[in-house]
Amino acid sequence: MTINNLSSILLAVLFIISTVSTSVSFSQEEVILDSIHTGGKYRITTYNDKEVIGKVIKQDSVYLFITTEEGTVRIRHEDVFSVSKTTMPRLIKALLSLGGGIYLQSGDYGGYRETNKPGYTFNFSAAYPFSENKAIRLDLSYSRLKRDAASYSYYYNPNGPGYSTQNVDVYSAYVDFVFGNFTTNADFSVYGIAGIGLMHVNEGEYQYTDYYYYDTTYTYTTRTYPGFSNTNFSMAIGGGMRFKVNNRLGAFLEAQYNMTTYEGFFWFFGRGYFPIRAGVTYTFY
């Protein structure tokens, strides 16, 4: 199976994953508003999605007075959507991820053989949920590939075409929208990713040999093909799975298709990269 075939299969899988936003979670212990007792600690959610966690110090027919870490809060009974004895916040404040894995390339790169091997990749991301199933995320990554680069000069080689190894470093920065479950009681979540950003590709220099035919003999000269770099807009689509190990630590598995612009346009199934990563997560409440 070639890299192009594999990348097409991965892209199809990523489209399926990115449309899924399901999760498995445990129910919370909800209480009836009339059963709130002065002196008890509760997590109260209002109809405008505001969350208050603290101790009820006073209540009357109109208001609840709650002491929180920030001070005393007054809430109307009619504004209360739900009450829980669970005092952990309902929504994650931030989710940090650190991971690494393999890095594939696809598309027409001209002069590069299909036998190119996968590279490696590392990434760091910080997600900030703004609802139970949506978050915005900053994703930074570094990846390296090794290509078998050919020069036209090699076609004068009496031994046939030759190739040299070229290092390719890829630096990416994306702003992603992530769709999943970002409640604190979710032990497992499947999520989708859609983002846009910049990709900087640095293609390193490599050695090649010019062969010349003269008087029935071959002479040759070794030359250095200079490296070059470019920066383009890039789109990221994909999905993954997240597992909770404990209240703070977790693990994730994620696959993406990073599509870059070519001659000013995005070409689907054209030039692109496929990072497949796994790693650890840390949750802030």
pLDDT recorded at residue 85: 83
**CB-neighbour burial class of residue 52 (10 A; exposed 0-12, middle 13-18, buried 19+):** middle
pLDDT recorded at residue 191: 96
Q: Which residues contact 96 (CB under 8 A, 6 or more apart)?
A: 124, 125, 126, 127, 281, 282, 283, 284
What is the pairing mode between strands 228-244 and 249-262?
antiparallel
Percent of the chain with pLDDT over 70: 71
pTM of model > 0.85: no
What tens digit of pLDDT does each residue of 111-128 get? 445 456 789 999 999 999
Percent of the chain with pLDDT over 90: 37
What is the domain partition of the chain in residue ranges? 3-23+91-284, 33-84
| Stronger pLDDT, 265 or 98, i.e. the higher one | 98
Could you check whether 3-23+91-284 and 33-84 share the same CATH topology?
no
| Stronger pLDDT, 74 or 49, i.e. the higher one | 74
Average pLDDT taken over every residue of the chain: 80
Q: Do 285 and 92 form a contact (C-beta atoms < 8 A)?
A: yes
What would be the CATH architecture of the domain defined by 3-23+91-284?
A: Beta Barrel (2.40)
What tens digit of pLDDT does each residue of 160-207 get? 556 677 888 999 999 999 999 998 888 999 999 999 999 998 988 877
- Across 239-244, average pLDDT: 94
| Stronger pLDDT, 274 or 212, i.e. the higher one | 274
Topology of domain 33-84 in CATH is SH3 type barrels. (2.30.30)
Residue 203: strand pairing partners: 168, 228
Would you tell me how many other CB atoms lie within 10 Å of the CB of residue 215? 6
Residue 278: strand pairing partners: 100, 253
Rounded-to-integer distance, Cα 132 and Cα 185, Å:
11
Residue 110 — left, alpha, or beta (φ > 0 → left; ψ -120 to 50 → alpha)? left
Taking Cα atoms as reference points, which of 119, 121, 114 lies closest to residue 163?
A: 114
pLDDT recorded at residue 29: 54
